[in-house]
Amino acid sequence: MVIKKVCCIGAGYVGGPTCTVIAYKCPEVTVTVVDLSQERIDQWNSEDFNLPIYEPSLVEVVKECRGRNLFFSTDIDTAIQEADLIFISVNTPTKTFGLGKGRAPDLKYIENASRRIAKIADTDKIVVEKSTVPVRAAESIQRILQANNKPGCSFEVLSNPEFLAEGTAIRDLLNPDRVLIGGDETPRGRRAMEDLACVYENWIPRKKIILTNTWSSELSKLAGNAFLAQRISSINAMSAICEATGADVAEVAHAVGTDSRIGPKFLQASLGFGGSCFQKDVLNLVYLCEALNLPEVAAYWHQVIAMNDLQRRRFANKIISSLFNTVTDKKIAILGFAFKKDTGDTRESSSIYLCKFLMEEGAHLNIYDPQVVPQQILSELKYPSICDDPKKVDRLVTIFKSPYEAIKDTHAFVICTEWDEFVTLDYQTIYNSMLKPAFAFDGRRVLDHDNMQQIGFHIETVGKRRNMKGLNGYTPVTP
Ligand code: UDX
Ligand code: ADP
């Protein structure tokens, strides 16, 4: 079958950019992205291109294709009916209650989407799981579809996980390291995989398109994210040793990363990784191992998360101990709330946890982020597991539109997200506007620490013990 019409269920961080690029690169394919949320679809369709997600270059690509062969709609049924191929790109958050709480992914959105396809479709469809799912989820989708099969209509389920990273989504989609397609090892399964591969071949060399069995494809996505998260936890574990010994984690990362077997990427120590994928997918893997009665394997992977939790806690403790062991009623500016630069996404951002720890100590927080809207920051902090009293958040948190305003009259500022603009701020002016001694905490290692110290700041960072000499006579209190 030549794929002419594609439907994508879910217009979020994965479905939106992925299908936009497919439409861009395959002008002869009609792509319709559908969602239950009218608000989200209205934003994708907005005249001023005020899209629901911030992603560099996304607007330009949407402008090129929207209304030509790219459409956003809430008419899910029509899009399903007309499509040759349907991507399922719905959310799969970690369960917050019931069996597998805190570990297993909640598959209710996947199941609902599958049931909708089963009910509506009356011609052959290739159904593709794009969302990250547990191994053997395709089997559940296939069973739901088969149990509701209409005469003369058959479904082939494929796994085609997405490897894009937020902030670089368009670049990653245009030039991926690989495209992974998993399917049934039957002639029909093979044909469906080839049909999907043909879509990607419009812009991706065939040698980058890997075909595997369904379970390998599903597991590879979890494994990929687990390996990446593990690298960050490994370098963060080293950062703790560096802080205790006088080694510098950047030098260690460079020395280790020049070994071509290890490589230099994903060795940036930080206040902990965030994002919607790493924690969720590692926990998903842990749950899978537990279910398979592999407790040692589960414990091995769980340590990646434990290390990340520790890193966030260690960084908060460093702030508190530097500020003379108390932050109660002190003012601290938080620079950056997104989980990384170039995105407005705050899911599992380490900023949230840092704010939680500091609010528990009664600190007043002035928060600034260039992309995250105030409502989003407040709703993350008012989540019951972060702060059980929303009034406390209202009392302790103020959101600012400028970093200078956020830092003015504070005891300290903390860089939580590595936004480029934080590197070039006028730190002399900032220093002059702060209470003294003025403290700077660089959770991303983006500042020139010697220069900051010269200005007069007491600067602390991750993975490097700062020289305690030359602090304008200030002697830190040891806990
Ligand atoms: C990740 C994977 O990279 C991507 O392949 C997958 O499809 C989805 O999950 P994403 O979460 O969007 O992508 O961003 P990523 O760049 O991987 O960063 C995740 C977190 O790790 C961020 O908080 C980032 O700041 C942090 N990080 C990354 C580090 O702390 N150090 C590093 O060296 C790299
Ligand atoms: P991701 O980061 O995985 O893309 P998002 O939460 O950004 O996750 O997007 C998932 C989208 O899927 C949401 O906009 C949500 O409204 C949509 N969605 C969930 N279930 C369905 C469904 N059954 N039909 C259509 N859209 C759905």
How far does residue 28's CA lie from ligand 2's centre (Å)? 26
Q: Tell me what the pLDDT averaged over the chain comes to.
A: 95
Q: Hey, which of 340, 342, 353, 462 would you mutate to test ligand 1's pocket, going by the most ligand atoms within 8 Å of its Cβ?
A: 340
Q: How confident is the model at residue 472 (pLDDT cuts 50, 70, 90)?
A: very low
What pLDDT was estimated at residue 471?
Answer: 42
CB of 112 within 6 A of ligand 2: the answer is yes
Q: What is the C-alpha end-to-end distance of the chain, expressed in Å?
A: 69
Q: How confident is the model at residue 467 (pLDDT cuts 50, 70, 90)?
A: low
**Mean pLDDT, residues 37-43 taken together:** 98
What pLDDT was estimated at residue 49?
Answer: 97
What are 52-89's pLDDT values in tens digits? Answer: 999 999 999 999 999 999 999 999 999 999 999 999 99
What are 238-280's pLDDT values in tens digits? Answer: 999 999 999 999 999 999 999 999 999 999 999 999 999 999 9
**Could you give the C-alpha distances from 98 to 101, 109, 335, 364, 385, in angstroms and in order?**
5, 16, 36, 35, 16
Which residue CA neighbors atom 7 of ligand 1 most closely?
Answer: 163
Q: How many CA atoms does the CB half-sphere of 148 hold within 13 Å?
A: 15
Among residues 277, 289, 355, 387, which one is catalytic?
Answer: 277
What are 451-465's pLDDT values in tens digits? Answer: 999 999 999 999 998
What pLDDT was estimated at residue 135?
Answer: 84
**Mean pLDDT, residues 86-114 taken together:** 92
What is the SS3 assignment for 31?
A: strand
Among 36, 38, 39, 42, which residue's Cα sits nearest to residue 112?
36
CB of 180 within 6 A of ligand 1: the answer is no
* Active-site annotation holds for 277: yes
User: Interior CA angle at 302 toward 379 and 416, to 5°?
Assistant: 40
